[in-house]
């Protein structure tokens, strides 16, 4: 059984003025997401600035998210690392804290071979009982997980159940689903490709857009899965320019700006990330106004 079906939010980590984690705001935005139809919360991923959280903060944020969610929707914890040992530690701790699943990114900087990826993910999966989604995002990691590698892992490791595919390569995704023969739970990792990925057999999205448009992102998936492909496509295209603006600069710089424009007050970003430039921020604001978000 899939960890979730629909739209999961790759939720931001709100910060206070001193750049410490704002837990009160995190609880507020978790509730906002659930109230607006989000099907899962993905905590401490790329959008959650996991790379600049200490291990202690990382685990505290996961624990808090589990508590705030109160089992209303699944919580999927990002526990990947370029160190297999560290990924095992984070994964085991997240399991203790009550996460429902794990999102484990391919090891960045090391640029492991495909055989190395298989050994890395197998070791992590064997250390826990939780279901695991692989996370393929070569633009961030410098390492592309080939379809053959993903399929081998899903077919040979019981608790590796699927993948967040953010390669942007639809041909690669199609090849994956051909080889998988229905054994891979596929989620789009790119908001501009939700409908294309669903058309290839995907069951949802792990979304940045959902931070600012949770109901609409949920509806893109729900409409498609309910057979209203026309309605789903219309929503996908309606928000395409907003999605483009949300990636004018590296994620999560624009989405935090967008949330602040909406009055959510999620704070700033930890260095080396910096505030969105004025020109790009103006484009983002204009696109949000066009669709009535602000």
CATH number for the domain that contains residue 36: 3.20.20.70
Whether 136 maps to a domain, the answer reads yes
26 phi and psi, to 5 degrees?
Answer: -60, -45
Per-residue H/E/C for 24-65: HHHHHHHHHHHHCCCCEEEECCCCCCHHHCCHHHHHHHHHHH
102: alpha, beta or left, given left = phi > 0 and alpha = psi -120 to 50? Answer: beta
> How many domains in the chain?
1
What confidence tens digit (pLDDT) does each residue in 220-230 have?
999 999 999 99
62/99 Cα distance (integer angstroms): 8
Whether 288 maps to a domain, the answer reads no
CB 60, CB 86: distance < 8 Å: no
Q: Which residue has the tokens 């291990």?
A: 55
Whether the bond between 252 and the residue before it is cis, its omega within 30 degrees of 0, is yes
Whether 164 maps to a domain, the answer reads yes
What confidence tens digit (pLDDT) does each residue in 55-103 have?
999 999 999 999 999 999 999 999 999 999 999 999 999 999 999 999 9
Q: Which residue has the tokens 């808090």?
A: 64
Whether the bond between 195 and the residue before it is cis, its omega within 30 degrees of 0, is no
Whether 47 maps to a domain, the answer reads yes
Q: What is the mean pLDDT of residues 243-254?
A: 98
27/264 Cα distance (integer angstroms): 12
Whether 271 maps to a domain, the answer reads no
CB 47, CB 253: distance < 8 Å: no
Instruction: Look up the domain containing 86 and give its range.
Output: 6-228
Q: What residues are labeled active site?
A: 135, 164
77/105 Cα distance (integer angstroms): 11
Query: Which pLDDT score, from 0 to 100, does residue 121 have?
Result: 98
Cα dihedral: 21, 27, 29, 34 (round 10): 150
- What does the mean pLDDT of the chain come to? 98
**pLDDT at residue 168 tops 90:** yes
190/36 Cα distance (integer angstroms): 20
Which token pair is 68? Answer: 């705030």
Which token pair is 213? Answer: 């448009």
94/67 Cα distance (integer angstroms): 12
Whether 289 maps to a domain, the answer reads no
Query: Which pLDDT score, from 0 to 100, does residue 99 have?
Result: 98
**pLDDT at residue 1 tops 90:** no
pLDDT confidence band for 272 (50 / 70 / 90): very high
CB 218, CB 6: distance < 8 Å: yes
What confidence tens digit (pLDDT) does each residue in 29-58 have?
999 999 999 999 999 999 999 999 999 999
Whether 248 maps to a domain, the answer reads no
Whether 14 maps to a domain, the answer reads yes
**pLDDT at residue 169 tops 90:** yes
1/288 Cα distance (integer angstroms): 36
Q: What is the mean pLDDT of residues 204-218?
A: 98
What confidence tens digit (pLDDT) does each residue in 113-161 have?
999 999 999 999 999 999 999 999 999 999 999 999 999 999 999 999 9
């Amino acid at each position: 059984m899939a960890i979730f079906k629909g739209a999961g939010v790759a939720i931001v980590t709100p910060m206070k003025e001193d750049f410490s984690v704002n837990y009160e705001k995190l609880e507020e935005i978790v509730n906002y997401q659930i109230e607006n139809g989000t099907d899962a919360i993905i905590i401490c991923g790329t959008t959650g600035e996991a790379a600049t959280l200490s291990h202690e903060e990382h685990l505290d944020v996961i624990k808090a998210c589990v508590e705030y969610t109160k089992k209303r929707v699944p919580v999927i914890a990002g526990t990947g690392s370029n160190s297999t040992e560290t990924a095992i530690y984070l994964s085991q701790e997240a399991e203790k804290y009550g996460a429902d699943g794990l999102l484990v990114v391919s090891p960045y900087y090391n640029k492991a071979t495909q055989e190395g990826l298989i050994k890395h993910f197998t070791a992590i999966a064997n250390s826990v009982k939780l279901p695991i989604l692989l996370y393929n995002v070569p633009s961030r990691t410098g390492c592309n997980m080939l379809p053959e590698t993903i399929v081998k892992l899903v077919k040979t490791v019981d608790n590796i159940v699927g993948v967040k595919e953010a390669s942007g390569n639809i041909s690669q995704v199609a090849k994956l689903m051909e080889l998988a023969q229905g054994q891979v739970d596929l989620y789009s990792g790119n908001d501009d490709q939700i409908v294309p990925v669903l058309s290839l057999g995907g069951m949802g999205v792990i979304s940045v857009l959902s931070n600012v448009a949770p109901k609409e992102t949920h509806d893109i998936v729900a409409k498609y899965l309910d057979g209203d492909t026309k309605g789903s496509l219309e929503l996908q295209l309606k928000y395409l320019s907003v999605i483009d603006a949300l990636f004018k600069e590296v994620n999560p710089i624009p989405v935090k700006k967008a949330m602040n424009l909406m009055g959510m007050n999620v704070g700033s970003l930890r260095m080396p990330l910096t505030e969105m430039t004025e020109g790009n921020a103006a484009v983002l604001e204009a696109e949000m106004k066009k669709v009535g978000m602000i």
